[in-house]
Amino acid sequence: MNCTVNDVLVAVTSAALSRYYFRKSGDTNTTKICLRSLLPVNTRPAASLQTYVNVIESDKTNEVTLGNKLGYIILPFYLATHNDPLAYIRKAKKVLDRKKRSLEMVFTYKIFQIFMKVFGVKAGASIFRCLFARTTIIFSNMVGPTKQVELCGHPVAFIAPSVYGIPEVGNP
């Protein structure tokens, strides 16, 4: 189907959540319920990653900026029933292809950086918390570390974060 891991990840989650919702609610109406999902995307060009590795290995670390450069794509996440299971993938691919062609991920990264420089870390954290508080699902298929990670002498196989409940938005 010429799709990416993100396309399949979004499609499978949409299919599972849709089937669960319609089975539990008993609702046979296929009115679309729209939720918001967030997909972090690396804004560094893929070709330049090897260049960064070469510069770091040659001890010229002052020539390269380290750290994450993540932009975000805000995806509409639809609950709907389809007779064809591949329809979920087609829908996800269509939405993700449109979003990937836009400059949304670059703009979200740049705006967040400008906001942090102008207003400071507290205001940036507030915007970040506000974004996540209004998001239903966050997807990530980012590559993890290539070397074994240990925590207190125990090897870490995977980390599976989860959040339950309504986020607390307000003054602490």
User: Is position 163 within any domain?
Assistant: no
Q: What is the C-alpha to C-alpha distance for residues 77 and 17, in angstroms, rounded to an integer?
A: 10
Express as a percent the part of the chain with pLDDT over 90.
2
Provide the domain limits for residue 94.
Answer: 5-155
Q: What CA–CA distances, in Å, run from 110 to 35, 63, 84? A: 25, 21, 39
Please, what is the average pLDDT of the chain?
77
Which range, of 51-60, 85-94, 103-112, 163-172, averages the lowest pLDDT?
Answer: 163-172
| pLDDT tops 50 at residue 172 | no
Q: Which residues are CB-contacts of 11 (< 8 A; sequence separation ≥ 6)?
A: 88, 89, 91, 92, 93
pLDDT attached to residue 171: 44
For residue 57, the one-letter residue type is E
Mean pLDDT across the stretch 86-104?
88
User: Is position 140 within any domain?
Assistant: yes
Pair 38, 135: CB distance under 8 Å: yes
User: Is position 160 within any domain?
Assistant: no
User: Is position 168 within any domain?
Assistant: no
Write the DSSP symbol of residue 149.
P
| pLDDT tops 80 at residue 140 | no
User: Is position 29 within any domain?
Assistant: yes
How many CB atoms lie under 10 A from the CB of residue 85? Answer: 10
User: Is position 164 within any domain?
Assistant: no
User: Is position 169 within any domain?
Assistant: no
Specify the number of domains making up the chain. 1
- Sequence-separated contacts (24+) of 113-120 with Cβ below 8 Å: none
pLDDT attached to residue 82: 84
User: Is position 161 within any domain?
Assistant: no
Entry pTM: 0.64
pLDDT attached to residue 162: 66
pLDDT attached to residue 66: 60
For the chain, the farthest-separated pair of C-alpha atoms sits apart, in whole angstroms, at: 62
pLDDT attached to residue 52: 61
Please indicate whether residue 104 or residue 48 has the higher confidence score (pLDDT). 104
